[in-house]
Each structure stands twice: as C-alpha cells, then as structure tokens.
Amino acid sequence: MTICALATAPGGALGIIRISGPQALEILSHVFSKDLTDAQPNTIHYGHIKDGEEMIDEVMVSIFQAPHSYTGEDSAEISCHGSRYIINRVLELLIQHGCRMAGPGEFTQRAYLNGKMDLSQAEAVADLIASSNKATHDIALNQLRGHFSSELSRLREQLLKLTSLLELELDFSDHEDLEFADRSELLEISKTIDNHILRLATSFETGQTLKNGIPVAIIGKTNVGKSTLLNRLLKDDRAIVSDIHGTTRDTIEDTIDIKGITFRFIDTAGIRQTTDEIEQIGIERTYAAIEKARIVLWLLDAEPSEKDIQEIQERCHDKSLIIIQNKIDKSESSLFSLHSPLSSHLLKISAKYGENIDALETAIYEAAKIPELTENDVIVTSARQYQSLISAHNNLTRVVEGLETNLSGDLISEDLNLVLDDLSDITGQGRIVPNEVLGNIFKNFCVGK
Ligand SMILES: Nc1nc2c(ncn2[C@@H]2O[C@H](COP(=O)(O)OP(=O)(O)OP(=O)(O)O)[C@@H](O)[C@H]2O)c(=O)[nH]1
Ligand SMILES: [Mg+2]
C-alpha cells in the first residue's frame, strides 16, 4: 500500500509531503501537471498540484526509485507552500487517488523491513530528531552510521567462533584417545565478549544522563542566594527570591546547555534547624537531591563551621563538589579561606549581579568530566537495547560458569545460542521481530518519518 504524510512541522513557509509505496509515482502523476511514471529517478520537477482543472499550488517534486530511496520503495517528496489549507488539500487528493495516511514512523519502519537499516539504526533516527544538544546529536549520528551495529556483528562473529569450537569438542568427544579442546581458551574468549557487552550496557547510564541532563544540586543554608543563582544560570525568573529565610520549600528543577552538554539544575530548600513541618520535608528533599546529583554546588555567604563542613563532606563524598562564596559584591562580605579536605579552592561570585558566572559554568562543565565523544564511540540510548544487553550478559555468565564447572558442551551451546538471540534482538537482523515490539519502537516516532 502506498502511504503519504506531511514530514515537516506545520506553520513553516514550506511543507514537505512524503509518498512511498509501489504506486507512489502513478498516484503523484494523477495530481501533478506532468506524468512522472517514466521520469528519471533522483530528479526534481517543477509543476502544479491540481484537482481536475483547479490548481492547488506551485510545487517542486523529488522522485526516487526503489531500492534507492529512504524506504527502499518508489517514493516522492512534494515541497509545497506551508499553508494548512494547501497541505490538507494535497493530502486529500493523494488519498482520493489511492494513498493511505502513514502511521507514526511508518516510513522508517518500511526502511527497516526493506533492509535499508537495522532496528538500532531506526531507533537512532528517532533519537536524532529528538536530539537537543551536541552530545545527544553525536550519539544518535554514530548509531545511525551503524557503529553500534558493526560492533554487535563483531561480537556475533566471536560468539559463533566459540560455538564452533564447542561443536568441535562434541564431535571428537567419542574418540577417547583425543584430548578435549583446551577449555581455558574458550573461557577467555567468553570473558572478553562479556566484558565488551557489559561496557555497552553501562554506556546506557551515560547516554541517559546526557539525554536528561547531568543533575547538579544547588545547596546551602537559607538565604545564601541559591534561588538567585538558579535564576541567574537559567537566565529566567524561575524560583522565588526573597530575603526571608526558608523561602524555597520544594526542589525546583530546570535544564540549560553549557558547551553543548545539558545540565539539570536543582534548587533546594536551605538547610537549617527548623520546627516547621513543611520546611523539614523540604530539607529532606534537599538531602535526596544531593544523593541524585552528580555535581553539588555548595553555596556560602559566610565561613562555614567545622560541623557544617563535616556534614557536607559525608553527604557529598562521592560527588563532584564545587564550593562557592556568594554575595562578594557586599562590602561587609568578608573574604574567607576554606581549610578543609573538601577543597582548598573557593569560587567567588555574585549571583545577584552576575559576577564570575562564566567561571562557575566552566567549573561545572569540567566537574562533569564528559569524555570527548569520538566518531567510533558507541553509547546505548534505548531501554530496549539495554535490556537485550543485560539479558546477553546474564546468559553469558551461565556460559562462563558452565565452562568453569566442566559442564557438557551441548548445554553450554544452548546458553550461547541465547546470547546470540539477545544480540540479534537489538538489530532485528536474522530474527523475526514480533509486531508488538516493532509497534513499540515506532509508536514514538512522528508521522511523516
Ligand atoms: N548583595 C547580594 N545579595 C544577594 C546575592 N545573591 C542573593 N542575594 C540576596 O539574598 C537574599 C536571598 O536570596 P535567595 O536566592 O532567595 O536565597 P536562597 O538561598 O534561595 O534562600 P532560601 O530559599 O530561603 O533557602 C535575597 O534578598 C537576594 O536578593 C548576591 O550575589 N549579592
Ligand atoms: Mg531559595
């Protein structure tokens, strides 16, 4: 069946309507001023979309012939003017002549079914469209280019080698005078593959953090200027600022990008002794925010006590801690130095007047310790792929145990096959992917992609 959909967001100067399927060029020719059924593939044509004698719009049409198109089918793209009326008329006309409206991600789903890309690449298309900064864009692009797929196929090859070595052992097991294959080699290969799979699985966490923003908690006593700093970083009046102690009761979160990386800042309730029940709940949330954070900004407007230093040290022992003296614009603000094992460095800012905020942003970026992504780095971003990797790891652990405990080769082979299946699930190659799984992957796409 031939499908059509608007591929661009409504409201722009131009609208691109996509058509794909066996009748794409025939249907298009019914509504276009020229017959395109025999036109050269990969060409662009100027003309009119018409409904009988009525002209609807002046358009450009690009045509592609199977298999050299995004979907692998005959397809076309109509660039028309972006009016809602024009777009609706063109879509209606196409449907009248035999097209059906495409479902979400149906063009990409067809590309997958026609072997133009594997499932992990299809998921990367969705990630690429959703990417909002350089890091998530780089990850999606790497996956789309097939780096993940080729890494998986290398792992498959190694697993197949392992299977054949085990089979060799089985074939010769009747010959008593022949020695068993040396299992230590098999063990070594299995462990190497497992390490690799685990590394891919742990990259999921990095991917998630880059997608959702690196959590940064802003903490300190009441009234030190935490909410003022949040607003300054966000360049927005997001949180209420006042000189009343205990203004912020709940955590407030928002994201900004620093040098292409998304950070999620969490303003918190100031830490102090209180009998106010609600404020106390807020302070508990501050502690929870510290636990979730990767970076903690400890804001001070006066020299902290030994007890405070000790408390922060305990709560932030596994975080990147940046200690900041705020309100340096105030004449009475005394310069103090911090003698603690936490940090000898004290960043001095004025949140209210925006002094030294650039230096703070640089310090935050550096504290995140983001490794520069190279072209070949693979970071797993889909929960579905992550689950398959974890399952592969679990099955491989059984292979390793089997080899260590001298289990018979055919039992180990069974587990090895499960590992191979897990890896195939990720790309969908060589495996029948249930419709339900496909539906889940593509339902999050926009219509038209
Ligand atoms: N002079 C000066 N005043 C500041 C600065 N930063 C914040 N303030 C003032 O300090 C007071 C408290 O600021 P907030 O941002 O509400 O402080 P907070 O830490 O969020 O306070 P709580 O929500 O109560 O914990 C306000 O009157 C701010 O205008 C600064 O850099 N210089
Ligand atoms: Mg506040």
Residue pLDDT, tens place only, 131-174: 888 888 888 888 888 888 888 999 999 999 888 888 777 666 66
For the CA of 348, the nearest ligand: 1
Count CB atoms within 10 A of the CB of residue 261. Answer: 19
Closest CA relative to residue 262, chosen from 134, 404, 99, 427: 134
The pLDDT, as a whole number, for residue 298 is 95
- Cα separation, 196 vs 249, whole angstroms: 45
Ligand 1 atom closest to Cα of residue 330:
1
Which of 231, 352, 356, 357 should be mutated for ligand 1, with most atoms under 8 A from CB?
352
pLDDT-based confidence at 333, cuts 50/70/90? Answer: low
Give residue 366's pLDDT.
92
pLDDT in tens, 390-434: 999 999 999 999 999 988 888 899 999 999 999 998 988 777 777
pLDDT the model gives residue 337: 66
Give me the phi and psi of 373, to 5 degrees please: -75, 130
pLDDT at res. 448: 81
- Closest atom of ligand 1 to 355 CA is 31
The pLDDT of residue 312 is above 80:
yes
Mean pLDDT computed over 339-354: 80
* Gap between the terminal Cα atoms of the chain: 17
Which of ligand 1's atoms lies nearest the C-alpha of 350?
31
Q: What average pLDDT does the structure give for the chain? A: 89
Residues facing residue 447 across a β-bridge: 104
Provide, rounded to the nearest whole percent, the portion of the chain with pLDDT above 70: 93
pTM confidence score = 0.69
Question: Which residues have C-beta within 8 Å of that of residue 237, sequence separation ≥ 6?
Answer: 231
Pocket of ligand 1 (CB under 6 A): 222-228, 241-243, 245-248, 269-270, 326-327, 329-330, 350-352
Report the pLDDT value the prediction gives residue 378, as an integer from 0 to 100.
84
Q: What's the mean pLDDT in 27-34?
A: 96
Report residue 192's pLDDT band, with 50, 70 and 90 as the boundaries: very high
What order do you get walking across the sheet with 252-258 strand by strand?
252-258, 261-267, 214-220, 295-300, 320-325, 347-348
245 CA distance to ligand 1 centroid (A)? 9
Rounded Cα gap, residues 109 and 435, in angstroms? 11
Report the pLDDT value the prediction gives residue 240, as an integer from 0 to 100.
Answer: 95
Kindly give the distance from the C-alpha atom of residue 36 to the centroid of ligand 1, in angstroms, as a whole number.
68
132 or 27, which is more confident? 27
Supply the pLDDT for residue 174.
60
Closest-CA residue, ligand 1 atom 14, reads: 225
Centroid of ligand 1 to alpha carbon of 178 (angstroms): 81
**Which of the residue ranges 204-208, 304-308, 333-337 would you say has the lowest mean pLDDT?**
333-337
**Listed residue (2, 17, 13, 9) closest to 89, CA to CA:** 17
pLDDT digits (tens, 9 = 90+) for 74-117: 999 999 999 999 999 999 999 999 999 999 999 999 999 999 99
Q: Which residue, chain included where needed, has tokens 């970071």?
A: 379
Q: What percent of the chain has pLDDT over 90?
A: 64
In the reported structure, the alpha carbon of residue 254 is separated from the centroid of ligand 2 by a whole-number distance in angstroms of 14
Q: Rounded to the nearest whole angstrom, what is the distance from the C-alpha of residue 301 to the centroid of ligand 1?
A: 9
Encoded tokens for 59: 């358009």
| Residue 295 CA, ligand 2 centroid: distance in Å | 18
Pocket test for ligand 1, best of 232, 241, 353, 360 (most atoms within 8 A of CB): 241
Taking the centre of ligand 2 as the mean of its atom positions, its distance from the CA of residue 212, in whole angstroms, is 23
Neighbouring C-alpha atoms within 13 Å toward the C-beta of 267: 27
How high is the pLDDT of residue 181?
55
